[in-house]
Amino acid sequence: MVSPSDLTGLVEEITPQAIELRRLLHRHPEPANEERETTALLASTLEGAGVVVKTRSPKTGLWVDIGTDPKVGFRADIDALPIQEPADNTPTSASPGWMHACGHDAHAAIAVGIALVLHRLEPSIGVRILFQPAEEAAVGGASELVAEGLVDDLKGLIAFHVDPTLQVGRIGAKAGAITGSADAFIIKVSGPGGHTSRPHRTVDVVDAAARIVRDLPQSVSRSLDSRVPVVTVFGSIHGGDAANVIPTEVVLKGTVRTLDRSLWDALPGLIDKTLAQIVSMSGAEYALDYRRGVPPVVNDDAIVRTVTSSLADDLGAEIVVPTETSMGGEDFSNYLEIVPGAMFRLGTHSGGGDLHSASFKVNEASIGFGIRAGVSALLGIAARS
């Protein structure tokens, strides 16, 4: 068993390289499923340290196994967001219109650091580290890695997600649901159209659409146990161009989210049934295009307890703090359909903006801490597997 002092020395040795890697990744962000330079940079960094890399060519992303017969895993994501980064951010994206505004550059750099430390430690129980593409895509890259069997034999899987509201040196932990599901829908409300002076001679699809926008969120919520959260929100409404013409179609776009896994399964039918009830009195017709996203991330209680205990033993009980549930979606949930696991929040407070904002920043002091915490967490899970 490696001593805390030996582990500290290894992390301190590797952290500067991980920080420089994070800066390189930040300067060259790439969209979901197009992370070719990112994949190449990660692979060359790992191979340069003697780590055997397995890529998904011609697809993007890669993974490494440290030791034999991996039983525990760590997931990092590598894609960026279509956001223009302000010129005064340091480092600054060199790819116009694209930015690592969700910390995936930090996730990847920390994962490389964890791999390099474990490679030097040569743990008795194998560890698999996944560098996943396309977390920000509508259908995330996690589903592909699951289909490729990369988590089939794992006994536990964890991930860190940067949290700009949490101080550096803190890990946010929560058993149960930590993020919500994320589904999208498009509703097309149609009718024959007509003159706004004679709505009684036609079907007012604008009025029908307005009723949907007003009533659907409340009706869905009222049909469920009030203790089960569900959030239905419209983000786009479009119909018609002239003030005196009732259009033939109005298109509504929105999302629906929940923290309950069983409700997630039932939501498409519930939305469709509720729409039919709302539209029935208007005379309009509707078509629902319901698009499955990701289920909620539901952290495994035993994994959370094990990681919390391991981090407390290694770094002190004060570093692990409670964290809130978010209704934002995360495709890490796809892995948890197969393997018990948990996502933890990594404190990266820097005074910058929130996730997915152009003013988002990462405090680089979190890189070394994330490496140390990740190694401790993985070794803790491995010891109990």
CB 68 within 8 A of CB 126: yes
Same domain, 132 and 37: yes
Give pLDDT, residue 332.
98
pLDDT in tens, 230-252: 999 999 999 999 999 999 999 99
Residue 274 lies in domain:
182-294
Give pLDDT, residue 1.
54
Mean per-residue pLDDT over the chain, rounded: 96
Structurally, how many domains does the chain consist of?
A: 2
Rounded average pLDDT over 91-118: 98
Rounded average pLDDT over 290-305: 97
Same domain, 152 and 17: yes
Rounded average pLDDT over 349-359: 95
- Helices assigned H by DSSP within 34-180: 36-48, 104-121, 142-147
Q: What are phi and psi of 160, to 5 degrees?
A: -105, 145
CB 256 within 8 A of CB 217: no
Measured distance CA(36)–CA(360) in Å, rounded:
24
Identity of the residue numbered 61: G
Output the domain CATH number for residue 327: 3.40.630.10
pLDDT in tens, 12-29: 999 999 999 999 999 999
CB 179 within 8 A of CB 94: no
Same domain, 303 and 161: yes
Q: Using the 3D structure, point to which of 232, 263, 294 is the last residue of a domain.
A: 294
Question: What is the residue whose two structure tokens read 């993007």?
Answer: 60
Q: What are phi and psi of 301, to 5 degrees?
A: -60, -45
Give pLDDT, residue 4.
66
Rounded average pLDDT over 74-82: 98
Give pLDDT, residue 125.
82
pLDDT above 70 covers a percentage of the chain that reads 99
Q: Using the 3D structure, point to which of 259, 294, 329 is the last residue of a domain.
A: 294
Q: How many helices (H) and strands (E) does the chain have?
A: 9, 16
Largest Cα span, the chain: 82
Measured distance CA(193)–CA(202) in Å, rounded:
6
Helix 4-27 / helix 104-121 crossing angle, nearest 10 deg: 140
Same domain, 41 and 119: yes
How far does Cα 382 stand from its chain's mean position? 25
Measured distance CA(51)–CA(47) in Å, rounded:
5
Same domain, 186 and 326: no
pLDDT grade, residue 123 (50/70/90)? Answer: confident
Output the domain CATH number for residue 209: 3.30.70.360
Same domain, 159 and 84: yes
pLDDT in tens, 143-153: 999 999 999 99
pTM score? 0.94
Same domain, 330 and 370: yes
Report the relative pairing of strands 156-163 and 70-77 from DSSP bridges: parallel
CA distances from 29 to 34, 104, 295, 348 (A): 10, 9, 27, 19
Question: What is the residue whose two structure tokens read 């302000």?
Answer: 86
Report the relative pairing of strands 285-294 and 171-173 from DSSP bridges: unpaired
Same domain, 251 and 372: no
Query: Both tokens of residue 250?
Result: 């109005």
Rounded average pLDDT over 206-223: 96
Same domain, 347 and 244: no
Q: Using the 3D structure, point to which of 256, 272, 294 is the last residue of a domain.
A: 294
Can you state the percent helix, strand and coil of the chain, rounding each to 5?
Answer: 35, 25, 35
Same domain, 308 and 283: no
How far does Cα 109 stand from its chain's mean position? 17
CA distances from 72 to 53, 270, 271, 310 (A): 17, 38, 38, 14
Same domain, 248 and 268: yes
Tally Cβ neighbours within 10 Å of residue 103.
25
> Cis bond leading into 58, ω under 30°?
yes
CB 333 within 8 A of CB 258: no
Same domain, 80 and 165: yes
